[in-house]
A and B are shown apart, each in its own frame.
Chain A
Amino acid sequence: MANVLQVGVSALVANQSGLRTVGHNIANTSTEGYSRQQVNYVARTPTEIGQAGFLGNGVGQQGVQRVVDSFLTEELNSTANSYQRFEVLYTNASRLDDLLGDDSTGLSPTIRGFFEAIQSGAESPTSSASRQLMISQAELMVNRFHSLQERLNNQNDSINLQIETIVEQINAIARQIGELNEQIAARATNDEFSQPNDLLDQRDQLIFELSELVSVDSLEGDDRTTDIYIGNGQGLVIGNQVFGLETETSRDDASRLDINFVVQSSSFNITNNISGGELGGMLEFREEILDLVYNRMGIVAAGIMSEVNDQQQRGMDLDNEVGINFFNDLNSQTLMRSRYTPDVDNALPDDRVIEVSIDELGELLPSDYSLEFTTTGNMQYTITRLSDDTVVASNILSGVFPSTTEFDGLEVNLVSGSFSDGDRFTLRPYRTLSGDIEVQLTNIRDIAFAQPIRTSLGNGNVGTGRITQGEVMDTSTASFDRVNNALVPPIMIEFLDETSYDVLDVTDPANPVNLVPPMLNQTFTRGLSNAVFTDDENETGLTTDGTDISVVQIATAGNGYSSETIEFTTVDPETQVISRQSVTTALNDTAETTAQTLNALVGVTATGRNYAEISSILSASPMTLTFNGELLAGTDADTLRDSINNNLNLAADGISAKSDGSTISIRANTGVDFTFQVGGGTPGDSVTITTEDGAVNTVSGAFATPAITFGGKIDIFMSEGVTVSGEGALVSVLPNPISTYLGYQVEVDGAPQEGDLFFVNYNTDGFSDNRNAVAMAQLQATKILDNGEATFNESYINLVNVIGTSTNELEISREATLSIFERARADRNDIAGVNMDEEAVKLLQFEQAYNAAAQIITIARSTFDTLIRSTGG
């Protein structure tokens, strides 16, 4: 009987456990991470009753087990991780997308407005309303730049704040996992069916929550503890030992937080190893999207500042002054020095000064750069573009400041300081530009809608030659006198014949003089538009001024110019490759010969010329003057002049003469030697010959009169990068060539005739001139940025497009990862979740079994009672 009772009791207890577990399941239906539990029953070991076999002993409980599939749990964790990453990326990117693309917050309408205002200026350049409009539209645009920059900064700050919160959450979760590990280790047994199910569920749930925040690896240990690894293997939780993360201001960017892993008292940066989850998404957004927006907007700002300022400086304002900057200077010292951050580990003292100037707008790329000194000990540094980790330049700091390196349209100058091996710097050329741009010009009179030069034609021009209105490239040259608001010198172009002209300084309109160096006998090609001045900003020029020049040779053949080696050194402006060309002249070579030789060199243009004046012609009787072997007729200035001008041999040498009645001036456009000899006459007859440099020689007649000879000069023009040195005969050792770049250009076309004049002058009071306004307005449609493929606005619109596209992609990824996550959650819940109906059925089942077991005990008792009574009770 006792056995029946035992069986009954076992059933009672077992079904009670069942009921309790069902209750527990129902209670936890909505508990996050809860896995339904079930009791495992097993029939007890039976009692052997001899031949009759075995009698059952009731039911036993093997344990309460939770229903989990560890594969599904892991799937849930990893899908949650990628969903959260895309969720963060998408949320942040779509905020930017709304901001940049919207007309009320984006840049596009204000850039348009600004250039439209300039167009109005082109319509009526003197109108103060249109000038005021340009300034106020510029301010609108600048404010929009500023507010966008502020929004970007806010987003950056909010990311910092979120990183801090997430790091705290990670630390809290890590601590809880550590505690659970400890509790689990204390309770866990080797028995598969007997585990602290609810603690395991709690830990799984914590790991799930951790996975939502950041990618981690978990590894289950022998004692049922789970180790959590973060980054590239840093143990966040090892058993019950817990380590933590902390945030720290980034070593190369004060506006950002980095993430450190803390081990005991030391910590190290694991920012670059963090990925996935909310935290990974934040870091990814910051590096890949936010920086791109900062940089691309900065480039648009740089383009507008630089181009509008440049054009403004090429113009003339309402006070006849050359234009000043409209926006602040893109490459002011303050801004150039604000574009880098030294690494905190650089050796003290922190005294390095670097300047980053933004030069070639078309070449700029939206990236930051790192500048690192190698540790090889030779002060070599390399510059790496961070967007694609490409080394773009390297250089050696040889101890001479500044050390200049150019790449990607930027120029980096190491200016001063104790640079040393191992130094690191981060260059951020564009990060703050959208906030830096300011309208600097406040007085509407200072807007330069006009250009500072104008051209005109001589009153007496006979030909049909025309001159362009002129184009100004650079007003910082010496041509523009900013004090007197004048062109220095004003220019007169005088045609010698139909195909050649002189360019003269006409400061005194009654007395035009040569430029320095002279521009004489220039070639004019009919049918073409002839540019008068050089377009080479770095062209220089000089006139031969060596020791042999102006030395008059008496009674010797030749001009007495010694043999000389003239050497030209060319530094290629692009490659810096140095090449040398040299010419060795022979004794007595004429300026004409030498000029021809020099002309054959690369980057060198040379023109020979000679000049003499004949005055004080005293002749009492027939005196003859022989000039370059030609016997000249006459003894008065006008006749001699005609005699020279009518001589075909002399004309072939480019020789022509003028007379003012008493003095003849002779000019040779070729640079041939001049030889004069007087014959006949009587003592006292003489002429005075003066060279261009004023050497005066009186040549007398009557007796054996020695001939005098002197050579001409050479005007040498050298292209950018070319320098000259000589031994002194023609070219003094290292002459100081003068820049011949005037900063403006005019072109002459048509068919000018001899004596026709063209003038270039300052555009004094030319306030109605709108050329500069038109040029400024054209910037709107000029493709300046992105390799010359985008206007300012297009570049910005491209940015909107890039952000829109990434937001779109991110949204798709977010949707995709969300449904994968939901699927994984459903899968996990389908296995591990509680189903109420199922539990209800079990409830009924256990209730009935429990009732039946109670019945067994009742029956056992009544059987026992019957037995007792029957034995005399």
Chain B
Amino acid sequence: MRISTNQFFINGQIGMQRVQEQLSRTQQKIALSTNYLTSSENPVATTKVMIFEEQLALAEKFEENIGFATNSTELAESTLGSIVNSLQRVRELIVGANTATLSGPDYLSIADELDGIADEIAGLMNAKDGVGDFLFSGFQSSTKPFIERNGGGWEFQGDRGVRFLEVSVDTKIEISFPGRSVFVDVEASRNTLITSESEFNDPDTNAFISIGEVIDQEAFDQVYPTDYVMTFNDPPTTYNIVERSDGSPVLGESPPQPLVNATYNEGTEIRFNGASFLVSGNPSAGDTYFIESTPREDILTSIYRISEVYKDVGENINLIQTAEGAARFQTASETALNNIDAGLISVSQERSRLGTNLNQLSTLMDMSEGLRIELRDFISDIEDLDIAEAATTLSQETFILEASQASFARISSLTIFNFLR
């Protein structure tokens, strides 16, 4: 076959160029230690890597979330543990106070200790997490969940909000623990009441409603569940108390007449249907208070109420000298004990639930770590260069290049003109 001289040189050049190109690619791959220099070399594999990397990032993020959730759950769990210990002590005190051999000052000192423990528990319930947010206040993390009320007793200010965090593709786990369901919504052994003021009350008044109590359980249970609304008239020297459901007026205890346009005597107990509470300060016209019946009592209020009973008895030991007084005292003690037990159950249940969560978190962590390692393997399998193979390829290509260079040099010098002298 005839070959033109020009083509001969072109062929030599093309051949060497190709090998050089391959060589440079192989060298680059070795330098970067990667199987593919651009995604076009193997679009399927490289997009797979991108998707794996996306999943990997997600897994890493989930692990971070799991770590975060574990921390806050552990913190909550240990706080609940401390609360359980304190409640045990409360229980012991109440059981101890129930022996008939105590003197007035004994009751007072028990009451003192109870108040101290209540403060301690409130402190625990108002615990903050690592970033300074209240652990048990729900969504309002900057609102202190448990505060002391005017006139004594406790009030919960948080909400039921629960923060969740994604810990795997379709699992969310809570990282905040609203105190409402654990500490407030505790089943009471007897129906009781809870008082509150309307958010629309004149913010400038100094008036407040006491925490209230049930003084005649029988009468109270007879109309249970009934909620009441107390509204101050204009001028606020009189008030009305009506049933919330139909607006019918309530019959006061003494004197036994409807509490319509009843005269307001600051600090005087208002009693009806077994309930008792008082309003202090100078209310404004239109100020409204709610007295709601409830089957639940929060832990701090339970402690507060029994402590108040002990204080009353401590100041006037005669109160329990009568058979009726002793029975009432007995009932109060039993009620308190039952309520504290219910509180203990509630807190312990929450504790064990958090324990379950911690287990789940640790399982998820293991799974996620497994997935992460697997994904890394996948990526490495696709992406990482087999150095040995690449080195072999490199030396092979180097050899070919050298051979073609040498042979080209030899052959190209073969021309008949060399012999025409």
The answer to whether B295 and A462 touch across the interface, beta carbons within 8 angstroms, is yes
The answer to whether B225 and A778 touch across the interface, beta carbons within 8 angstroms, is no
Most buried by B among A29, A510, A659, A755: A510
B335 CB-CB contact with A under 8 Å: no
The answer to whether B159 and A454 touch across the interface, beta carbons within 8 angstroms, is yes
The answer to whether B57 and A116 touch across the interface, beta carbons within 8 angstroms, is yes
The answer to whether B417 and A836 touch across the interface, beta carbons within 8 angstroms, is yes
For B231, give the chain A residue with the smallest CB separation. Answer: A510
For A108, give the chain B residue with the smallest CB separation. Answer: B50
The answer to whether A660 and B247 touch across the interface, beta carbons within 8 angstroms, is yes
A458 and B196 alpha carbons, distance in the complex (Å):
12
Interface residue from B161, B242, B294 paired with A660 (Cβ < 8 Å): B242
Which residues of A, 403-462, contact B by the 8 Å Cβ criterion? 450, 454-462
The answer to whether A460 and B294 touch across the interface, beta carbons within 8 angstroms, is yes
A836 and B248 alpha carbons, distance in the complex (Å):
124
Which listed segment binds B: A120-128, A225-233, A386-394, A676-684?
A: A120-128
A661 CB-CB contact with B under 8 Å: yes
For A100, give the chain B residue with the smallest CB separation. Answer: B39
Which listed segment binds B: A47-55, A155-163, A822-830?
A: A822-830
Most buried by B among A98, A665, A826: A826
The answer to whether B54 and A825 touch across the interface, beta carbons within 8 angstroms, is no
Residues in chain B near residue A97, CB distance under 8 A: 38-40
Instruction: Categorize the interface residue count of chain A.
Output: 35 or more
For B1, give the chain A residue with the smallest CB separation. Answer: A830
A81 CB-CB contact with B under 8 Å: no
A220 CB-CB contact with B under 8 Å: no
Interface residue from A126, A460, A801 paired with B43 (Cβ < 8 Å): A801
For A807, give the chain B residue with the smallest CB separation. Answer: B40
Residues in chain A near residue B140, CB distance under 8 A: 764-768
A841 CB-CB contact with B under 8 Å: yes
The answer to whether A127 and B139 touch across the interface, beta carbons within 8 angstroms, is no
B204 CB-CB contact with A under 8 Å: no
A873 CB-CB contact with B under 8 Å: no
When A765-B142, A800-B50, A805-B43 are in contact, do A460 and B163 touch as well, CB less than 8 Å? Answer: no
Which listed segment binds A: B78-86, B117-125, B169-177, B319-327?
A: B169-177
When A126-B133, A660-B248 are in contact, do A832 and B160 touch as well, CB less than 8 Å? Answer: no
Which residues of A, 821-873, contact B by the 8 Å Cβ criterion? 822, 825-826, 829-838, 840-841, 843-844
B1-27 interface code vs A (CB 8 A; 1 in, 0 out): 111111100110010000000000000
The answer to whether B50 and A830 touch across the interface, beta carbons within 8 angstroms, is no
A101 CB-CB contact with B under 8 Å: yes
Interface residue from B11, B53, B141, B288 paired with A126 (Cβ < 8 Å): B141
For the residues of B in contact with A, the DSSP-based class is mixed
CB distance from A580 to the nearest CB of B (A): 44
A770 CB-CB contact with B under 8 Å: yes
A733-768 interface code vs B (CB 8 A; 1 in, 0 out): 000000000000000000000010000000111111
Which residues of A, 787-823, contact B by the 8 Å Cβ criterion? 793-794, 797-798, 800-801, 803-808, 811, 822
A822 and B14 alpha carbons, distance in the complex (Å):
9
The answer to whether B415 and A454 touch across the interface, beta carbons within 8 angstroms, is no
B273 CB-CB contact with A under 8 Å: no
A589 CB-CB contact with B under 8 Å: no
The answer to whether A835 and B141 touch across the interface, beta carbons within 8 angstroms, is no
CB distance from A26 to the nearest CB of B (A): 9
For A99, give the chain B residue with the smallest CB separation. Answer: B38
The answer to whether A804 and B292 touch across the interface, beta carbons within 8 angstroms, is no
The answer to whether A660 and B246 touch across the interface, beta carbons within 8 angstroms, is yes
CB distance from A846 to the nearest CB of B (A): 13
B220 CB-CB contact with A under 8 Å: no
Which residues of B, 150-174, contact A by the 8 Å Cβ criterion? 159-166, 169, 172
Q: How many residues of B contact A (CB 8 A)?
A: 79
The answer to whether A659 and B248 touch across the interface, beta carbons within 8 angstroms, is yes
The answer to whether A460 and B47 touch across the interface, beta carbons within 8 angstroms, is no
A665 and B143 alpha carbons, distance in the complex (Å):
42
The answer to whether B41 and A808 touch across the interface, beta carbons within 8 angstroms, is yes
Most buried by A among B1, B141, B194: B141
B406 CB-CB contact with A under 8 Å: no
A112 CB-CB contact with B under 8 Å: yes
A90-128 interface code vs B (CB 8 A; 1 in, 0 out): 000110011011000000100010001001001111110
The answer to whether B420 and A840 touch across the interface, beta carbons within 8 angstroms, is yes
Residues in chain A near residue B131, CB distance under 8 A: 124, 126-127
A450 and B160 alpha carbons, distance in the complex (Å):
14
For B225, give the chain A residue with the smallest CB separation. Answer: A460
Residues in chain B near residue A456, CB distance under 8 A: 159-160
CB distance from B94 to the nearest CB of A (A): 25
B229 CB-CB contact with A under 8 Å: yes
A768 and B2 alpha carbons, distance in the complex (Å):
86
Most buried by B among A462, A764, A777: A462
B378 CB-CB contact with A under 8 Å: no
Which residues of A, 18-54, contact B by the 8 Å Cβ criterion? 29-30, 36
B227 CB-CB contact with A under 8 Å: yes
A458 and B140 alpha carbons, distance in the complex (Å):
19
When A457-B160, A767-B140 are in contact, do A123 and B199 touch as well, CB less than 8 Å? Answer: no
The answer to whether A769 and B10 touch across the interface, beta carbons within 8 angstroms, is no
CB distance from B274 to the nearest CB of A (A): 15
A811 and B21 alpha carbons, distance in the complex (Å):
14
A628 CB-CB contact with B under 8 Å: no
B329 CB-CB contact with A under 8 Å: no
CB distance from A800 to the nearest CB of B (A): 6
Given contacts A765-B143, A843-B420, 5 further A-B pairs with CB under 8 A are: A100-B39, A766-B138, A766-B140, A766-B161, A767-B139
A-B interface, 10 closest residue pairs, ranked by CB to CB distance from nearest = A833-B4, A768-B141, A766-B139, A804-B43, A807-B40, A658-B246, A101-B39, A804-B39, A660-B247, A829-B7
Can you sample 22 A-B contacts with CB below 8 Å? A126-B131, A459-B194, A459-B294, A658-B248, A659-B246, A660-B249, A661-B249, A661-B258, A763-B139, A764-B140, A767-B140, A768-B133, A768-B161, A797-B50, A797-B54, A803-B39, A804-B39, A807-B38, A807-B43, A808-B40, A832-B4, A837-B416
